[in-house]
Structure formats: C-alpha cells, structure tokens
Amino acid sequence: MKLYLGNRNYSSWSLRGWLALMLSGLPFEAVQLSLTGEGPNPRILAFSPSGLVPCLHDGDVVAWDSLAIAESLAERVPSMWPADQAARAHARSVTAEMHAGFAALRREMTMCIRERVDVRPWSPALSRDIARIEAIFDEARRRFGASARFLYGEFSIADCFYAPVAFRFRTYGVSLAGPAGDYVSALLAHPFLREWERDALAETEVIEVDEPRIVYRDLLARAR
C-alpha cells in the first residue's frame, strides 16, 4: 500500500489517514508531497481524483478521503473500531461529526504543530466547537473509556480523528480539565503522535496561508 500525504506540520487530514494505517498494523509506504495550502492541487490529480490528500493506493483500490481510508482498513482489521456495539456506534458517530463538522475550529485554529500562539478572544462559534469537543471527550471517557487512556479503551479510529485536535489545542493554549484534559495529554504522548510530531518539527517549509502568525497577524497585534 502507498499513502500520499501532505506536510506533517500543517496537514491534519494527512495525519488522520497516516494514523489509521499505523493503527491497522498493515505495511505501507508514505509518500509526502508539498501542499499549496489553497485547496486541490492539480499536480495531485495524477493519483488522487479529488486533487487532495491523503490518498491511499492498495493495488487497484484507491481511497482518497481520510474516513474512507479508515473504513477500508477496518474492513480488513475490524479491531480498529471498538468491539462493543454501543461503543462502536458512539465512536463512529463522533468520528463522523469530526469529519463533517467543527468548521470554526478548522478556520480559526489551523494546525501548525511547531507554533504556540494565543488567538483569544475566541469567536462564539469557536467557543461552541471547543465546548462540544470537550463534551465528546468527557462522555466517551465516562461511558466507554474510564479504565483506560483513550476514548473507547484501546486506541481506535476515533482517536485517529481527534488527534489533530490535540495538536491544535496545544498550539493555541486550549486547556481542558478532568477526563477531557487527561485524554488530550494521552493523545500527545502516544508513540504514533510523537513520531509524527518529530517529523513535523524537522520540516522547514512555511505555507503562509496555514501559518498562524501570518493568518492571525492582526489579531495577535491587537493582543499585545
């Protein structure tokens, strides 16, 4: 299998696809591409129908969406989802919610692993996104993962999809209390995330449309 992905420092969707492959335990080759930060890249159309990454090639099978990649892998490795039916339904729901939602978080807290900035005051929409994510973490841990470090006990696809949130929260100084805060710390300490972070910090390329100190220049200036 071959996974095409983008800059590790910025590409949250690439991180999700890569984590799903790492979780599967299946052998794969990662092919990193430099992204423009401005949507579909015509150069990527040669191997990804959407012009976006991540994109997984497995022989004649191609999956060009992070959730499609995760589900394709889970068909071969069912343990990537929780075994319990109620936990599995909950995990699939919160994964789909992350995949489709939280627009304010994506817009106002771009992923940039190497940075540490404060963009307060947060917009009402961003505050609602953060509160909803905290509620998801608290509920999943309380109902399904109370005896372990992750949302549903063992590290799962759901954790893969919320991993970029942990990096975002650290970058922008979002501090969660209780089980939600413990969960964010557990994510950041996971060996997969530490490996990705190590490689992200080794990158030197700057994509201005994703760089917090450029994107939020005026807000940061007002905060001084």
Please tell me the pTM assigned to this model: 0.95
Number of domain units in the chain: 2
Reported as a single tens digit per residue, the pLDDT across 161-170 is 999 999 999 9
Mean pLDDT of 51-76: 96
Reported as a single tens digit per residue, the pLDDT across 116-133 is 999 999 999 999 999 999
Question: Please, which pLDDT band fits residue 202 given cuts at 50, 70 and 90?
Answer: very high
Answer whether residue 215 shows pLDDT above 90. no
| Dist CA 189 CA 181 (whole Å) | 13
* CATH number of residue 63's parent domain: 3.40.30.10
What pLDDT does 39 receive?
A: 64
Order of strands, edge to edge, in the sheet holding 2-5?
Answer: 29-32, 2-5, 55-58, 61-63
Q: Do residue 180 and residue 115 come from a single domain? A: yes
What pLDDT does 35 receive?
A: 78
Question: Please, which pLDDT band fits residue 219 given cuts at 50, 70 and 90?
Answer: confident
Q: Do residue 45 and residue 134 come from a single domain? A: no
Final residue of a structural domain among 49, 78, 107: 78
97: CB partners within 8 A, 6+ apart: 136
Mean pLDDT of 61-74: 97
Query: Do the domain assignments include residue 214?
Result: no
Q: Do residue 39 and residue 84 come from a single domain? A: no
Average confidence score pLDDT of the chain = 94
User: How many other CB atoms are there within 10 angstroms of residue 19's CB atom?
Assistant: 23
Q: 174: domain range?
A: 79-201
Q: Do residue 149 and residue 162 come from a single domain? A: yes
Q: Give burial (CB, 10 Å; 0-12/13-18/19+) of 3.
A: buried
Reported as a single tens digit per residue, the pLDDT across 7-21 is 999 999 999 999 999
